[in-house]
Amino acid sequence: NVTGVQTCALPILQQANAFVLEGIYDYTYSPKTSFQIIASSNVNESVYEGVGFYKSYNLYATCEHKILSNLVLNLGALYARSDYPHETYVFVSSGREWKKRNDNIYGGDVSLQYDFRTWFSIYAKYAFKYRDSNIRGFEYSNNRISGGLKLKF
């Protein structure tokens, strides 16, 4: 799955001059275990005033293992980087200055899924994400527990 150059009507994103690409690699190790790696490069519109857009690079790896015929364990790991090409006016200990922002994002998740039927299952998931930014105030960590039902039609 490869996407070409992204065309956008927003003038600020037209300045990005970046290549948009996504690749997916699937590998089946055994009938019970499979791996997937997803890598992408993208241009994103920023919600921060004066920033316009940022470039993001993502790498996500996942492993799926069938513990039983109807119980599936999923493990995932994430690394992402966001680069903001425009300088942002920020507060620092010595006052204010202009800086180009960049973020490194690390994460992981684990989930269990129980299949009642091929078309109906329930799941529970824990996900963690940490963003490390070179500009104070943009760092965060996020722990999330979720669950739900899946219906396939």
Task: Note the pLDDT tens digit of each residue in 18-48.
Answer: 667 788 999 999 999 999 999 998 877 776 6
Residue closest to 88 by CA, chosen among 137, 44, 129 = 137
Q: Is 4 exposed, middle or buried (0-12, 13-18, 19+ CB in 10 A)?
A: exposed
pLDDT classification of 135: cutoffs 50, 70, 90: confident
Q: 8 or 38: whose pLDDT is higher?
A: 38
Amino acid 130: pLDDT: 97
Give the mean model confidence (pLDDT) for residues 44-71: 84
For the segment 90-127, what is each residue's pLDDT rounded down to a tens digit?
766 677 777 788 899 999 999 999 999 989 999 999 99
Query: What is the reported pTM?
Result: 0.76
Residue 11, SS3? helix
Long-range Cβ pairs for the range 36-43 (8 Å, 24+): 36/61, 36/62, 36/64, 37/61, 37/62, 42/6, 42/18, 43/6, 43/8, 43/13, 43/16, 43/18
* pLDDT on residue 134: 84
Q: What is the C-alpha separation between 69 and 31, in angstroms, rounded?
A: 11
In the chain, % helix, strand, coil (3-state, to 5) comes to 5, 70, 25
Closest by CA position to 75, among listed 40, 131, 35 = 35
CA 79 and chain centroid, separation: 7
User: For residue 12, is pLDDT > 60?
Assistant: no
User: Which amino acid is present at 99?
Assistant: K
